Structure 1
Amino acid sequence: MKKILLLSDTHSFIDSTILKYVQCADEVWHAGDIGNLEVTDSIKKIKPLRAVFGNIDDHIIRTEFPLTINFELEGVKVLMTHIAGYPGKYNVRTQETIRLHQPKLFICGHSHILKVQYDKKFDMLHVNPGAAGKHGFHKVRTMLRFVLENGAIKNMEIIELGVRSQT
C-alpha cells in the first residue's frame, strides 16, 4: 500500500499547509508547472518525489524532470505529463503515449481545473489535481491524495488549500 499526494501547477509556491500533507504521504507526485526547484527540493527533503516539467518551467527544471514519466507502483500502471487534454480531446502526443503505455492511471496538470474522470476509450482513470499554487485563474487551490494497493486506486480525496486570493 502506498499513500500518494498529487499536486500540480505550484508556479514557484509552496507553503507549510502543502508540506503538512507531504509528511502524511509515502510519495509525492507533481504534474508540472513547478516554477522553481525550491518547490521540489522542499518536497524531496521530506518524501520521495516523482515529477514532470510543465510549460512554464525553465531549462533547469527541464534538466531535472522529464516531459512524461511512466511507471508501475503497487500493480498500477501510471502515466504522467503536464499538457494532455481530456478524455475524447487528448492532443496527438498524449494519445500516442497512452496507446504505447496503456496506463490504468493517467495524470496531467496545466488546466488548473481539478478533474477525476474515467476514460472508457482507454480504460483508465484520468486525473488532474487542479492547481496548488497562487498563480492562475483558479479560485480554490487544490491537490489530491489517494492510495494504491494491489492494482487498485482507492480512497481518492480532494484537498482544498483555501481560496487563491486569500493565501
Structure 2
Amino acid sequence: MLVLSDTHGLLRPEVLALLPGADTVLHAGDVGRPEVLTGLQAATTAPVHAVRGNVDRTPPLSDLPATLLLDVAGVWVYVLHDLNDLDLRPPDAGVHVVVSGHTHAPRVEQRGGALFVNPGSVGPRRFRLPVACAWLHVEAGAARVEPVILDA
C-alpha cells in the first residue's frame, strides 16, 4: 500500500512512478485539488482512498470523510489527517495502524500497541523537510513501514 499525504494540489511525477507497485493508495489529507485524486486514479488500477485535510474546504474535497477505517488482510488501519483529532484509543478499537499527515514530517513509531505512521508530504517542499511518502506492507497479520524519501 502506498501511503501519501499533504499533496497540496501537486501530483509529482515521482509519485506516479511509484504507482505500478501499489495494490492500494492511501492519501491522509490536504489533497489540495481534485485533480490530484483523479490523476492518481487514472494512473493506477489500485483503489485510491483519501480523507480530507484542513485545506480541503470546498467540494468535492470537503466531501471526503474525516476518517477511514480499512481492513487490510486482517490488519485494521485508521486514517485521519491531523493526529491531534484522533478520537479513539487504537488498541481498544482493534486498530493496528494509525495513518496521519498534517505535519509534513515523516514519522513512524510504535505507541500503545499500535503503529503510528506519518508518511510526510509529497506536496510543495516545506522548510527543510524531505519530500516523502511510505509503503505500508501487511504480511501474515503484521504491518511494517518502508519510508520513501523522494527528495532530501
TM-score, normalised on structure 2? 0.90
Q: What are the ranges of 5 or more consecutive residues in structure 1 without an aligned counterpart?
A: 85-90
What SS does the aligned partner of 2:53 have? coil
Aligned residue-pair number? 149
Do the aligned partners of 1:11 and 1:135 also contact (CA within 8 Å) in 2?
no
State the alpha-carbon separation in 2 of the partners of residues 131 and 147 from structure 1.
Answer: 19
Partner of 1:124: 114
Work out whether residues 105 and 129 of structure 2, in 8 Å CA contact, stay in contact via their aligned partners in 1. Answer: no
Distance 2:8 2:94 in 1: 29
Q: Report the 3-state secondary structure (helix = DSSP H, G, I; strand = E; otherwise coil) of the residue aligned with 1:147.
A: strand
Quote the offset at 1:151 in angstroms: 1.2
**Amino acid across the alignment from 1:22:** L
Match of 2:21 among 21, 24, 30: 24
1:10 and 1:57 map into 2 onto residues whose CA distance is: 11
Q: Does the 8 Å CA contact 1:112/1:137 hold for their aligned counterparts? A: no
Structure 1 residue 157 corresponds to structure 2 residue 149: no
What per-residue deviation string (whole Å, max 9, x for no partner) do you get for residues 59-116 of structure 1? 21021x20001121111011000011xxxxxx4x514364663310001000111000
Indicate whether 1:52 and 2:51 are aligned: yes
Q: Equivalents in 2 of 1:160, 1:99: separation in Å?
A: 29
- Identity of aligned pairs, percent? 31
- Which stretches of structure 1, 4 residues or longer, exceed 2 Å deviation after superposition? 95-102, 135-139
2:12 and 2:122 in contact (8 A); partners too: no
- Following the alignment from structure 1 to structure 2, what is the Cα–Cα distance between the partners of residues 138 and 57? 24
- The 2-side partners of 1:54 and 1:116 are apart by 20
| Structure 2 CA distance for aligned equivalents of residues 148 and 52 of structure 1 | 21
2:97 is aligned with 1:105: yes
Structure 2: which amino acid aligns with 1:78?
Answer: V
TM-score by length of 1: 0.82
Is the 8 Å Cα contact of residues 32 and 109 (structure 1) preserved in structure 2?
yes
Residue in 1 aligned with 2:6?
A: 9
SS in structure 1 at match of 2:14: helix
Q: Distance in 2 between matches of 1:31 and 1:117?
A: 17
3-state SS, counterpart of residue 17 of structure 1 = helix
Q: Which residue of 1 aligns with 2:65?
A: 66
